[in-house]
Structure 1
Amino acid sequence: MSDIFAASDATWPAAAVHRAGAFLVREGQGGGQRVSSATAEAVWDAADLDAAEAMQRDLGQRLLFMVRPGDEALDAALEARGYRVVDPVNIYAAPVAELLAEVPPLSAFTIWPPLAIMRDLWAEGGIGPGRLAVMARAEGPKTTVLGRVNDRAAGTAFVAIHRETAMMHALQVVPEQRRQGSAVKMMRKAAAWAQDHGAERFLVLVTAANAEANALYSSLGMRIVGQYHYRSKEP
């Protein structure tokens, strides 16, 4: 699992990272929970937890920890401190080769940097400047995907590669253009781009509560290979 979380950090990077005892505290600057959370990177104790909380307060961020497989003791300690579970996440994976299929002409494009219409589509879905800044920070091969349906822009997503792993982030499809196959075509196009850039594995992260997205990834033959969740409380 460590390689999956390394790929996540590399393809959706925080603005900065800070050490607080045994914890790594990410500075998100509006980029969302993943880049604003703390994770245990070594054997920890209560003083390390105190240090991580203090660092997050100093950064002006809410108290937020990512609880990964093997973090059962941390999960219990956070619960004892009054933290609540937030957004359980499923990790889906598939070999890039299994996602490849012919995509109709003009139905999906890979573009970097993103076009203004793509930024507008993300904004409509609540993906604003903070998350666009995350995309800009990502190093290595990266692209955005534009989907088209009925001669209009229907969706967009961001894809980046870390070593042999491609990860898709921020998939957004216009509500009135959903259920017309655009997301599938975008995934296929992203997989083709990933293969062209040397990736062998394709990953996506999605909240367990997002039934539509979970159904999409399952329909493409992607499998859940891990899960994690957050715990949070106000500073």
Structure 2
Amino acid sequence: MDFDLLVHAAWPAYEQRTHDGWVLRHAGGVTKRANSVLPLGSPADLAGAIAAAETFYAERGLPCVFSVGPRATPGLDGELAARGYQVVDPTVIMAGPVAREPVVHETRVEERPWQGWLETWWAVDGRYGTGLAEAERICTGVSAWYAAVEEDGVPVAVGRGVPQGGTLGVYCMATLPRARRRGLARSVLRALVRQCGGTSAYLVVTARNQGARALYGSEGLAEKGEYHYRMR
């Protein structure tokens, strides 16, 4: 699977500009994934392409960030390091076959994120101040399903599933601290698999999140690659 393109399609920046094979992505500064360069191919002028990217983000008041994944331009990572760009958020790609396993907890699944779903996800992963509206715009930029285990009408564990051909992209997995270690994330994941179908799934998780990596591994997903960001 071409994970660079799968992730790009499942988490779409609403402003995109191409430059010599690279995709410059902007979405109001919310998440590095949607506000970074996807550097595919080999530009004829590497230094010129980097300069174009830096100008693009400077014009929008954002730092220039590169997503360096399996298909990144050869030699780019070293060039960025030499220019003072630091590695940020090393991330593991996990994927594998999935089966329709029992969903232990009652799980609500909808075609669009509702307010409670958004608030729970943002409470866990909202590192970008007042960017919830921008985050919702990113999420709904492509067809997806939204799942949640609720308690007293309040989502306490959530996730987002994006059907992509025969595979499922899993995003926005988040559980409130008070509801952790109860298997709720497992139910959310399984509910998305049941809803979306397909024979395989993939997701990305920060390398430091050992608990999540163990959970996904127990559900049949194995580490298939990695990527990181370079930010100056």
Gaps of at least 5 residues in structure 1 are: none
Q: TM-score, normalized by length of structure 1? A: 0.88
AA in 2 matched with 1:213:
A
AA in 2 matched with 1:115:
W
1:20 paired to 2:19: yes
8 Å contact 1:14–1:134 — kept in the other structure?
A: yes
Aligned counterpart, 1:68: 69
Compare the two structures and name the one with the higher helix fraction.
1
Gaps of at least 5 residues in structure 2 are: 127-131
8 Å contact 1:31–1:133 — kept in the other structure?
A: no
User: Cα deviation per residue 1:79-108 (whole Å; 9 max; x = unaligned)?
Assistant: 0000000011101112132xx21113x521
Between Structure 1 and Structure 2, how many residues are aligned? 224
AA in 2 matched with 1:29:
G
Q: Show the 5 A alignment for 1:112-151.
A: 112-127=111-126, 128-138=132-142, 140=143, 142-148=144-150
Supply the RMSD in Å over aligned alpha carbons: 1.9
Task: Return the alpha-carbon distance in structure 2 between the equivalents of residues 5 and 13 of structure 1.
Answer: 12
Q: Show the 5 A alignment for 1:117-196.
A: 117-127=116-126, 128-138=132-142, 140=143, 142-148=144-150, 153-195=155-197
**Higher mean C-alpha deviation, range 168-177 or range 56-65:** 56-65
Aligned counterpart, 2:129: none
Aligned counterpart, 1:59: 60
Task: Return the alpha-carbon distance in structure 1 between the equivalents of residues 191 and 213 of structure 2.
Answer: 19
User: Cα deviation per residue 1:179-228 (whole Å; 9 max; x = unaligned)?
Assistant: 00101111111111121xxx232111111011221121112121011111
User: Cα deviation per residue 1:149-202 (whole Å; 9 max; x = unaligned)?
Assistant: 68863211111112222111111111111000101111111111121xxx2321
Aligned counterpart, 1:7: 6
Q: Percent identity?
A: 26
- Secondary structure of 1:34's counterpart equals coil
CA distance 1:83–1:35, shift in 2 (3 Å): same
- Secondary structure of 1:137's counterpart equals coil
User: Cα deviation per residue 1:9-56 (whole Å; 9 max; x = unaligned)?
Assistant: 121111111123442111121330111110222213211111111112
AA in 1 matched with 2:172:
A
Tell me by how many angstroms 1:70 deviates: 5.1
Aligned counterpart, 2:205: 206
8 Å contact 1:20–1:55 — kept in the other structure?
A: no
Q: TM-score, normalized by length of structure 2? A: 0.89
